[in-house]
């Protein structure tokens, strides 16, 4: 257990240095630029080595491809210019402690033609000018993509390889887009690598270990695996040494002695790590940074996460502080520079994707605090240093997640987490260790592994660096299961002529609520069956065409098993789905139960007719359905409503849990929605809950907005849901009015609300799993819609990840504005009229 | 010149109401633009089509476009550096079924929408390899830009 030596936990006397301030300014000024370096080099290697249009690609060939890219990419120590709004160039001074970048640009958009980069093809001529989130793309680069890169991947991207090889009928359901989405055609990702070996032993030691194990292996597949690891890691070492060489060249020509020294320092650090063990905090951070850039050459960054950095780096930090090698201010400056580097790229998203996922970063989560493997307090000085850097930088990426074990972690720590939320408006998210550890052990994780969980992407807990949980394999729109149950296997979006699934009967003929629940469960199971089958096909395509030597080298398990993580090499394996529309479906079920079957005040036929007409002519019914005093609504500590939520999460956990993944493991389920609740909401018609056509669904595990007036009741409804059914992670989004007049009181109330949530006496005594906040006034949000230029750094929690409000699409902005807002001093919500777009 | 008059008609389609002729005009215009780019035909737009043919050098692809009732039906075959507009074909790489010509125009050209958006709106259904549609989308937008729309 680390001793806390920092006296003022807020570290309020530590501020941003000039270096961090200037780099941050450039960061916010810069527009993302499409980078063709990776896609060009990877295409060239595949063509020169005849790897395309084959039945498989071996892990050794992939490792050689990444080595080629890493050895041949430009070693950019510091950037000099970028593009600003209006796509005009600007120059700035880059003097980061960390050389290199994810792309060849200061803020780049890496392209992965093996995955979904080709979706950008139609936009190449106009992507610099598109209305929302434009990417700068030079004419020559656009021409290279059009003529030299994309054509070679038309038959060789993973989505089309799956279609050609397996002809999956489930693909038609996927391509309707309204039932579920699959992430595997877009990424491996959604996991946390293990950096500890790279930091403590160095990559040279891993290479030697692989060679030794390869020499002893008799199995051909294992031999190939162990041969691939050195290839990939030599590439990372080469990239670092190329950066060192370049820094030395720059230093030789640098007249300013301060800058010269900084360049020589970079050269020295990069010459050593990640090849050899890190000796200092800075070398540890550099090791992580260089491994991270290499992982991103292999894996599109969709929720790839860095894990428990305050634990992994603590010894190096402690040693440097104790030996007075660095001060706390310098540590914060180093971390601030690393945070900026981590956010140096944005994901590739086509225009329509912006409407579903608009404003998303790459969701790189970092985890701090909680308990260690033995269950002891793991919060240390570095946890507070990282909190302060986060508070000062207010960046979208990385997405900071704080673990909190009530009774083990201190009250002061919790209060500090609340304070940073107030000061940043949106971060960190708070995870209840007791509930999460319970959920993971119930899925079979060893206790010490469960205690060592890190948060992935948005909110998903997996054991740090040893669990490949592929946590966003499936994004399932649960309201589509409800739709299929309401309309006898048909969906209003795809037309009533088309029978999508099994006909479960006309609900008007059902004699009981249980009959309807049965129909709903059957339709949900249909979608689960379709989506898991398709996910397994995509998983096999990964195994055949996209081995991952870099990620496997930096993971616990593959080196022992001699097997890639996508082949099941990790210590713990699972796949996971996340559910969109939980509260909307639960409230619909409750409405049906109460109004149709209990009270019999409205027939099922009449209810279906009303939703079909978007409640036109049935306004009184709609009003009644939306009224929590008359119709049970989740989020009011209402027995009937909360029981329906519990039934849903239990049913889905069981149904997914029965499915086996392509890696021989089971599926887990989570409730976090990114921006999908707005995207799917846009496609879906009215529901029995009283929600009207095209309105947003509710995010994550959060109750529906504006129907939950009392904060404690809302928290209780969520906290009582059993964590064992929520092992894929949940996002509870709350909005608090900033009451900065009496900050101390605000923080007391804030912390009390979290304690009440995590301490809720549900069956297992675990409390609710996760809670995250927006602490910004309604008026500020409304003004930010009108004047986005005034709020470039306005940070918000979406459903899991953090985003800049200005980058979100209008529907998502509305969803955040309309979320229930609570006044902590009163414990009640503040009512606002729904925001008009 | 036939190509020039076709280009003018395409412009009219963009400016006014989209008709059943949109698909045919687009494909014929594209076919002519590739020919003009290779100096196989003369057009007042020849300069604007410079290097347009590079889009289809070495490219093989078979596209079938139709309305769900087959009242509008046309195909484009790319082979040996040329484009050939035909009626019905078998063995397509991709088949696009659209509700009406306006849906197709939206699908290929709308400023604020893209291919995925049309699928979301359920106005277009695509069978086969989506990459071919992405490539076609680029070529169609490139053509549109070259003729000043």
Quote the pLDDT of residue B6. 78
A576 in Cβ contact with A469 (< 8 Å): yes
- Chain mean pLDDT for chain A: 95
Quote the pLDDT of residue A683. 86
Q: Above 90 in pLDDT, residue B122?
A: no
Q: Above 80 in pLDDT, residue B3?
A: no
pLDDT, one tens digit per residue, over A464-496 is 999 999 999 999 999 999 999 999 999 998 889
The 3-state DSSP composition of chain A as helix, strand, coil percent (nearest 5) reads 50, 10, 40
Quote the pLDDT of residue B69. 86
A636 in Cβ contact with A628 (< 8 Å): yes
Of A147, A154, A493, the CB nearest to B132: A154
R_g of chain A computed on alpha carbons: 26
Mean pLDDT to the nearest integer, B84-97:
93
If pLDDT is split at 50, 70 and 90, which confidence band does B109 have? Answer: confident
Give the CA distances from residue A744 to residues A747, A784, A827, in Å, rounded to whole numbers and listed in that order.
5, 27, 16
Mean pLDDT to the nearest integer, A637-665:
97
Q: Which SS3 state, helix, strand or coil, does residue A716 take?
A: helix
Q: Above 80 in pLDDT, residue A352?
A: no
pLDDT, one tens digit per residue, over A565-606 is 999 999 999 999 999 999 999 999 999 999 999 999 999 999
Quote the pLDDT of residue A656. 98
Q: Above 90 in pLDDT, residue A402?
A: yes
More confident residue, B126 or A250: A250
pLDDT, one tens digit per residue, over A656-703 is 999 999 999 999 999 999 888 988 998 899 999 999 999 999 999 999
Quote the pLDDT of residue B113. 45
If pLDDT is split at 50, 70 and 90, which confidence band does A430 have? Answer: very high
Quote the pLDDT of residue A762. 62
Q: Name the nearest CA neighbour of A824 among A718, A710, A721.
A: A710
DSSP code for A168: -
CATH number of the domain encompassing residue B109:
3.30.1050.10
The secondary structure of A640-694 as a DSSP string is: HHHHHHHHHHHHHHHHHHTPBPTTS-BEEEEB--TTHHHHHHHH----TTSPPTT
Quote the pLDDT of residue A740. 77
For residue A494, the chain B residue with the least C-alpha distance is B122
% of residues, chain A, pLDDT over 70: 98
A353–B134 CB contact, under 8 Å:
no
Contacts of B62 in chain A (CB under 8 A): none
Quote the pLDDT of residue B104. 82
Q: What is the pTM of this model?
A: 0.96
Host domain of residue B95: 2-146
> Does the CB of A657 have a partner CB in chain B at under 8 Å?
no
For residue B111, the chain A residue with the least C-alpha distance is A130
pLDDT, one tens digit per residue, over A599-634 is 999 999 999 999 999 999 999 999 999 999 999 999
Distance, CA of A98 to CA of A289 (rounded, Å): 8
End-to-end alpha carbon distance in chain A: 51
Quote the pLDDT of residue A518. 98
Mean pLDDT to the nearest integer, A331-342:
98
A353–B116 CB contact, under 8 Å:
yes
Mean pLDDT to the nearest integer, A2-31:
95
CA A640 to chain centre: 32
A177–B135 CB contact, under 8 Å:
no
pLDDT, one tens digit per residue, over A298-334 is 999 888 999 999 999 999 999 999 999 999 999 999 9
pLDDT, one tens digit per residue, over A225-261 is 999 999 999 999 999 999 999 999 999 999 999 999 9
> Does the CB of B14 have a partner CB in chain A at under 8 Å?
no
Distance, CA of A757 to CA of A734 (rounded, Å): 12
> Does the CB of B141 have a partner CB in chain A at under 8 Å?
yes
Pairing of strands B61-67, A802-804: unpaired
Distance, CA of B127 to CA of A310 (rounded, Å): 49
A352–B115 CB contact, under 8 Å:
yes
B135–A154 CB contact, under 8 Å:
yes
Pairing of strands A474-477, A575-580: parallel
Distance, CA of A201 to CA of A662 (rounded, Å): 33
Q: Which SS3 state, helix, strand or coil, does residue A535 take?
A: helix
More confident residue, A582 or B102: A582
Q: Which of A194-198, A556-560, A723-727, A811-815 has the lowest mean pLDDT?
A: A811-815
Q: Which SS3 state, helix, strand or coil, does residue A3 take?
A: coil
Q: Above 90 in pLDDT, residue B14?
A: no
If pLDDT is split at 50, 70 and 90, which confidence band does A361 have? Answer: low
Q: To the nearest 10°, report the CA torsion of A351, A354, A356, A361.
A: 150
Q: Name the nearest CA neighbour of A680 among A147, A61, A177.
A: A177
More confident residue, A454 or B99: A454
CA A552, A297, A264: angle at the middle one, nearest 5? 100
Quote the pLDDT of residue A355. 63
Which H or E run includes A206? helix A203-216
Quote the number of domains for chain B: 1
Q: Name the nearest CA neighbour of B136 among B85, B72, B87.
A: B85
Torsion sign over Cα A332, A333, A336, A341: negative
By CB neighbour count within 10 A (0-12 exposed, 13-18 middle, 19+ buried), where does A56 fall?
exposed
For residue A153, the chain B residue with the least C-alpha distance is B131
pLDDT, one tens digit per residue, over A60-71 is 999 999 999 999
Q: Above 60 in pLDDT, residue A790?
A: yes
Q: Which of A277-286, A357-366, A619-628 has the lowest mean pLDDT?
A: A357-366
> Does the CB of B50 have a partner CB in chain A at under 8 Å?
no
Dihedral pair phi/psi, residue A747, rounded to 5°:
-70, -35
Quote the pLDDT of residue A354. 66
Of A121, A176, A177, the CB nearest to B135: A121
Mean pLDDT to the nearest integer, A694-723:
96
Sheet strand arrangement including A365-369:
A365-369, A399-404, A429-432, A770-774, A733-736, A821-823, A828-830
């Amino acid at each position: 257990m680390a001793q806390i030596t920092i006296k003022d936990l807020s570290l309020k006397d530590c501020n941003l240095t000039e270096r961090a301030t200037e780099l941050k300014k450039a960061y916010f000024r810069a527009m993302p630029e499409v980078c063709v370096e990776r896609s060009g080099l990877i295409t060239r290697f595949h063509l020169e080595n005849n790897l395309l249009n084959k039945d498989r690609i071996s892990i050794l060939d992939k490792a050689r491809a990444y080595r080629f890219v890493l050895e041949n990419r430009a070693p950019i120590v510091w950037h000099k210019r970028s593009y600003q709004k209006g796509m005009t160039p600007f120059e700035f001074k880059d003097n980061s402690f960390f050389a290199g970048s994810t792309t060849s640009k200061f803020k780049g958009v890496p392209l992965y033609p093996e995955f979904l980069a080709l979706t950008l093809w139609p936009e190449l001529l106009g992507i610099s000018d598109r209305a929302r989130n434009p990417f700068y793309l030079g004419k020559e680069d656009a021409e290279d993509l059009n003529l030299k890169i994309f054509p070679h991947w038309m038959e060789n991207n993973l989505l089309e390889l799956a279609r050609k090889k397996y002809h999956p009928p489930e693909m038609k359901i996927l391509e309707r887009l309204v039932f579920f989405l699959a992430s595997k055609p877009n990424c491996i990702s959604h996991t946390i690598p293990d950096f500890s070996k790279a930091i403590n032993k160095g990559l040279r030691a891993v290479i030697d270990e692989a060679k030794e194990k390869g020499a002893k292996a008799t199995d051909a597949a294992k031999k190939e695996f162990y041969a691939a690891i050195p290839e990939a890691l030599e590439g990372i070492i080469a990239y670092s040494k190329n950066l060192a060489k370049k820094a030395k060249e720059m230093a030789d020509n640098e007249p300013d002695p301060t800058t010269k020294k900084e360049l020589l320092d970079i050269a020295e650090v990069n010459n050593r790590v990640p090849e050899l063990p890190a000796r200092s905090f800075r070398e540890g951070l550099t090791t992580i940074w260089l491994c991270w850039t290499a992982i991103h050459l292999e894996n599109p960054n969709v929720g790839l996460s860095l894990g428990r950095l305050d634990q992994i780096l603590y010894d190096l930090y402690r040693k440097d502080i104790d030996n007075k090698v660095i001060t706390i201010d310098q540590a914060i400056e180093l971390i601030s520079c690393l945070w900026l580097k981590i956010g140096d790229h944005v994901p590739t998203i086509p225009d329509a994707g912006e409407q579903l996922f608009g404003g998303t970063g790459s969701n790189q989560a970092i985890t701090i605090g909680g308990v260690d493997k033995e269950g002891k307090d793991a919060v240390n000085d570095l946890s507070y240093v990282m909190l302060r850097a986060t508070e000062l930088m207010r960046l979208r990426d990385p997405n900071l997640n704080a673990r909190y074990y009530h009774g083990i972690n201190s009250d002061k720590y919790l209060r500090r987490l609340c304070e940073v939320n107030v000061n940043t408006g949106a971060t960190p998210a708070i995870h209840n260790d007791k509930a999460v550890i319970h959920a993971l052990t119930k899925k079979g994780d060893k206790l010490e592994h469960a205690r060592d969980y890190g948060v992935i992407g948005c909110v998903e807990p997996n054991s740090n660096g040893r669990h490949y949980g592929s946590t966003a394999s499936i994004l399932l729109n649960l309201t589509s299961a409800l739709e299929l149950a309401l309309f006898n296997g048909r969906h209003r979006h795809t037309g009533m002529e088309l029978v999508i699934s099994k006909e479960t009967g006309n609900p008007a003929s059902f004699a009981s609520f249980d009959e309807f629940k049965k129909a709903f469960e059957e339709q949900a199971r249909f979608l689960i069956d379709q989506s898991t089958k398709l996910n397994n096909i995509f998983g096999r395509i990964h195994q055949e065409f996209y081995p991952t030597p870099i990620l496997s080298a930096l993971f616990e398990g593959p080196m022992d098993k001699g097997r890639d993580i996508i082949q099941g090499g990790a210590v713990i394996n699972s796949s996971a789905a996340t559910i969109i529309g939980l509260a909307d479906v639960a409230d619909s079920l409750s409405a049906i139960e109460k109004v149709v079957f209990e009270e019999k005040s409205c027939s099922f036929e009449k209810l279906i007719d009303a939703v079909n007409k978007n409640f036109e002519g049935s306004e009184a019914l709609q009003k009644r359905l939306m009224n929590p005093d008359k119709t049970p609504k989740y989020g009011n500590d209402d027995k009937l409503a909360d029981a329906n939520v519990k039934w849903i999460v239990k049913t889905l956990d069981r149904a997914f849990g029965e499915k086996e993944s392509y890696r021989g493991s089971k599926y887990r389920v989570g409730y976090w929605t990114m921006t999908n609740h707005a995207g799917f909401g846009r496609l879906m018609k009215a529901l029995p809950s009283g929600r009207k056509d095209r309105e947003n669904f509710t995010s994550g595990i959060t109750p529906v907005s504006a129907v939950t007036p009392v904060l404690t009741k809302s928290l209780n409804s969520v906290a009582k849901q059993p964590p064992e059914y929520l092992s894929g992670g949940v996002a509870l989004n709350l909005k608090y009015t900033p009451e900065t007049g009496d900050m101390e009181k605000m923080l007391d109330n804030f912390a009390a609300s979290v304690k009440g949530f995590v301490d809720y006496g549900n069956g297992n005594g675990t409390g609710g799993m996760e809670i995250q906040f927006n602490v910004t006034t309604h008026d500020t949000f409304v003004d930010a819609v009108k004047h986005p230029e005034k709020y470039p750094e306005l940070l918000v929690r979406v459903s899991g990840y953090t985003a800049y409000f200005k980058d979100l699409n209008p529907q998502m902005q509305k969803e955040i504005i309309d979320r229930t807002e609570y006044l902590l001093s009163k414990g009640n919500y503040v009512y606002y009229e729904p925001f008009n777009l | 010149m036939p190509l020039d008059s076709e280009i003018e008609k395409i412009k009219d389609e963009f400016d006014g109401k989209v008709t059943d002729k949109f698909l045919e005009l687009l494909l014929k215009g594209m076919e002519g633009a590739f020919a003009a780019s290779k100096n196989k035909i003369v057009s007042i737009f020849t300069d604007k089509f410079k290097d347009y043919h590079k889009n289809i050098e070495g490219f093989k692809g078979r596209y079938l476009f139709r309305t769900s009732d087959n009242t509008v039906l046309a195909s484009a075959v790319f082979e040996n550096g040329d484009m050939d507009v035909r009626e019905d074909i078998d063995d397509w790489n991709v088949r696009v079924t659209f509700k009406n010509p306006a849906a197709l125009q939206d699908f290929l050209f709308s400023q604020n929408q893209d291919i995925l958006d049309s699928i979301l709106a359920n106005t277009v259904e695509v069978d086969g390899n989506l990459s071919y549609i992405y490539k076609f989308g680029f070529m169609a937008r490139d053509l549109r830009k070259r003729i000043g729309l």
